[in-house]
Amino acid sequence: MPSNAHSLFPFNTFGLEQAADEVVILHHRDQLAQLAQFAGSRLVVGEGSNLLFTSSFKGQVLVNRLKGISVTETEDAWRVTVQGGENWHELVCYCLEHGMLGLENLALIPGTAGAAPIQNIGAYGVELSRFCEQVESYNWHSGEIHVWPANECAFGYRDSVFKHGAREHLILSITLRLPKAWQPVLGYGPLAELGDHATARQVFEQVCATRRAKLPDPAELGNAGSFFKNPKVSQAQGEALKQAWPGLPLYPAEGGLVKLAAGWLIDQAGLKGTVVGGAAVHQQQALVLVNRGGATAEDILRLAELVRERVNDHFGVVLEPEVRMIGPQGETHLDEALACLN
């Protein structure tokens, strides 16, 4: 690493040894005006839990550490405004402890509140968009603060406007609306075993237990959580796959499509435990690619390529990475990153 470069090792949960020209920690909003004068490439990160640095970054990495939670109450809901640098799981715990229910299905999702709307994080049948009322952001180009009502955020499956047309925006805060009329969401996996009278605390504990049993702790085994999105296919293709593979999980999706379980596909393709260099498909959860120690970005990219090819060969389904890939100039994608290796 060049002597004037700054290590990104603390800011990516894959535990890769990459670098940036500059790393700045954002603690206060009064830093924004000065930071806006920076003319080069900039990348905003929270805890780096959904990132793969495919190379060193030629620019400034800004680490969002804005803190604070405020609550207002109406007759039928709580409005919770959370600064972008707050830890997401700690927010879920805070809301549960204060009787503000609804986020329990999203427990133990790594990352910050500011990163949550970018991916429209989701788990066990619940997505952030279910509760998001608005997003507050700072536009680096104009120097203005913008408030996005939820209907302007273009939320989709692991998607939002902040991944596409609004990349110049730093998310300062999010405001969630948690209705007082709470109903458990129990349609996915082990939550169905809880029964219709489950409490929010029981849902929270089941989600935490399930995630801890399946997902490796990034502090012990570098990873970025679910590496691939659950693919969506037509009803006809889903039914044909189900006929050929009776154990295939199918879930309804918008637009008349059905959603497949990417982890199941990877597992059935015989890829659990597959190793490329220092990277591997996790033994307990095939959806997770891990750094076994000393992995390079190339190891992870080559492994992702192998997984995608093998699943396509078996099922005729092309997996799309969920993890955000960052190249030397910013956002990239798997094929582009692989091309840079050749």
- For the annotated catalytic residues, the residue numbers are 158, 226, 322
Strand-pairing partners, residue 177, are 79
Residues 6+ apart with CB under 8 A from 261: 230, 248, 249, 251
CA quadruple 109, 114, 115, 119: dihedral sign:
positive
Cα 222 to Cα 322: distance, rounded to the nearest angstrom: 16
Contact 315, 241 (CB under 8 A): yes
Contact 13, 224 (CB under 8 A): yes
Give the pairing of strands 77-83 and 169-179. Answer: antiparallel
Cα 245 to Cα 215: distance, rounded to the nearest angstrom: 25
> Residue 342 burial (CB < 10 Å; 0-12/13-18/19+)?
exposed
Report phi then psi at 10, rounded to 5. Answer: -75, -10
Cα 241 to Cα 219: distance, rounded to the nearest angstrom: 37
Q: Which two tokens stand for residue 77?
A: 């809901």
At residue 22, the 3 state secondary structure works out as strand
Nearest alpha carbon to residue 123 among 200, 244, 204: 204
